[in-house]
Amino acid sequence: MKIKITLFYSIIAASILFSCVSKEKFNAKIRAKHSLIELKEDLAVLKTSLEEGHPGLYWYISKEKLDFKFDSIRNLLSDSTTSIQFYRMVAPLVSEVKCGHTRLVYPGLKYTKAQKDSSKKAGPAPLSQIYYHIDSNKIFVESVNNKDLLKHLKATEILAIDSVPAIEIIKKTKDLFGSDGYNLTFKDHVLTKSFAAYYYLQYSRKDSSTLQLKKIDKPDSIFNYVLKTIKPVKLKGEVKKLSKEELKKKEIARKLAKKQKKKNKYKGFDTDGSSILSLTYDSVLKSTAIMKVKSFSADAANHNKFFKESFAELQVKNIQNLIIDLRDNGGGRLTACNKLFRYLYDYGHVYTGRADMVNRYFSSSKYIDHRGLNGYKSPFRMLFVKKDTTGYYTSFSTSKVLNPLDNNFKNNLIVLINGYSFSATSLLSANLQQVNRGVFVGEETGGGYNKCTAGTMPFINLPNTKLRLRLPLKVIQTTNQRKLEGRGVFPQYPVAETIQDILDKKDVVMEKAKELISEKQID
């Protein structure tokens, strides 16, 4: 028995040691200055992967222009270029494809648990302490995660960071990732959610940053503030001793909350603990329900159960007005968004066309990261890829007529959209608009109206710099396309949130939807 225990701990120790060595080896590769031969090899793998795998490579840029840009980058390469420097050169090139699903990813360093714990104790990086709102070429501070910063930074506009003007920062960070076609709303929302991450990719992380600011309500008051890493502070003070009765009540409340959370698990939970899927009823407007769908991801929630339960409830209550909030829904499963469509439209409908592809395989597929890819290269999977005179293609379950579902909602419908309504969410919105179902309020969706490239999306690991190319292999397209290419779904009632609306916690998009219902403008 003692020998078995010793062997067990030896295996654990060996695996930890191997993991540490593996991380160190990877980090050394990331930090290394790569030779010209290595850099050109990675650039060639990147170009070949796009040419042989991406089905929409030349939708928004000509082959001649893209080839010229690749040649320009190749001529700029030199010895002693690190992975992050190579990323900053090449990521803008990938974004020229104008595909929101295609991007170059810098993997970053790998850390041990001890290193992660040490970093956590040190506190977040300076710019990671802020929640941002990006509006065109302006950076606003929406809120902060530290009370000490609140009086200095709340309700301010950032004019510059370390003497670099905001307009230049926004341009350079937006160059690192693409959007679908000529869309004008997606990138602002991406930066709003991930500004600090993209800033540090473009400019590197520092222990402190000097912000040039001005108060939104005092535009003439320009001042500087040095933002530093702040260690998390534990609040000191006596812990109140609860009575037995108070302890009992607290335990009962804890158990009830746990039971309720378990009951609602199928609705999913966002990072703030709120449900991903929810159905509520307006307290003022008669017979009006609000359905929030934050994601169509398979991992997020059980959409089938939620939709079936919700539309049965709407039928029983005879609800006349339904507001579906798709804002900030970045997409997910095709079947999930199609399921919602079939609860909203009462005729048979072909939701998607065929999924065009460039090839069954491509030469750089040996660099595919197969983790979580469900056997992309397996012969069984490739049996579903067909070929005709047009080229390679495959089909989806949504590529045939699918009929409406029981408890189909036939009454007034309003759909709320914004620039982060992307991918599957844009596809749902486009299909609803094509059949003239619902009134749309908000701003142009981030995803395309006619088509995008998505479906199977492997990561290609570049062998030397270790950068990763996310490569969509299929065309996802609607069956009834409009003439305008490269733009999203437009609302009939455009409403854009301002920074003041956000600071005042005023949901002007929802207010407009309710106004339309109260004034009976949605029949």
Render pLDDT for 107-125 as a digit per residue (tens, 0 to 9): 976 777 776 666 677 678 8
Q: What is the pLDDT of residue 310?
A: 97
Q: What is the pLDDT of residue 269?
A: 84
CA–CA separation, 150 vs 81, rounded Å? 40
Q: How far is CA 58 from the centre of its chain?
A: 24
What are 32-50's pLDDT values in tens digits? 899 999 999 999 999 999 9
Residue 101: how many CB atoms within 10 A of its CB?
22
Q: What is the pLDDT of residue 69?
A: 97
Task: Return the minimum-mean-pLDDT range out of 8-12, 216-220, 224-228.
Answer: 8-12
What is the DSSP secondary structure assignment for residue 517, as one 8-state letter? H
Least Cα distance to 275 among 294, 260, 256, 296 occurs for 294
Q: What is the pLDDT of residue 477?
A: 95
What are 438-491's pLDDT values in tens digits? 999 999 999 999 999 999 899 999 999 999 999 999 999 999 999 999 999 999
Contact 442, 501 (CB under 8 A): no
CATH 1.10.3720.10 fits 124-228, yes or no: no
Q: What is the pLDDT of residue 515?
A: 96
Q: What is the pLDDT of residue 257?
A: 62
What is the DSSP secondary structure assignment for residue 499, as one 8-state letter? H
Confidence (pTM): 0.88
Question: What pLDDT band is residue 295 in, cutting at 50, 70 and 90?
Answer: very high
Least Cα distance to 458 among 26, 50, 42 occurs for 50
Helix (H, G, I), strand (E, B) or coil at 130: strand
Class level of CATH domain 261-348+401-447+492-523: alpha beta
What are 220-273's pLDDT values in tens digits? 889 999 998 876 554 445 456 667 676 766 776 676 666 666 767 888 888 777
Task: Return the minimum-mean-pLDDT range out of 147-156, 208-217, 473-482, 511-520.
Answer: 147-156
Token pair belonging to 298: 């398979």
**Average pLDDT of the segment spanning 515-520:** 91
**Domains of the chain by residue range:** 1-31, 35-92+354-395+449-480, 124-228, 261-348+401-447+492-523
Q: Which residue has the tokens 């197969």?
A: 370
What are 383-440's pLDDT values in tens digits? 688 899 999 999 899 999 999 999 999 999 999 999 999 999 999 999 999 999 999 9
Helix (H, G, I), strand (E, B) or coil at 372: coil
| Higher-scoring residue by pLDDT: 522, 482 | 482
Q: What is the pLDDT of residue 27?
A: 78
Q: What is the pLDDT of residue 26?
A: 79
Does residue 380 surpass a pLDDT of 90?
Answer: no
Mean pLDDT rounded to a whole number for the chain: 88
Q: What is the pLDDT of residue 75?
A: 95
Does residue 308 surpass a pLDDT of 60?
Answer: yes
CA–CA separation, 85 vs 107, rounded Å? 13
Question: What pLDDT band is residue 372 in, cutting at 50, 70 and 90?
Answer: low
**Average pLDDT of the segment spanning 121-131:** 85
The sheet with strand 412-417 has its strands ordered as 277-281, 288-293, 321-325, 412-417, 439-442, 493-494
CA–CA separation, 247 vs 253, rounded Å? 10
Task: Return the minimum-mean-pLDDT range out of 262-266, 321-325, 358-362, 500-504.
Answer: 262-266
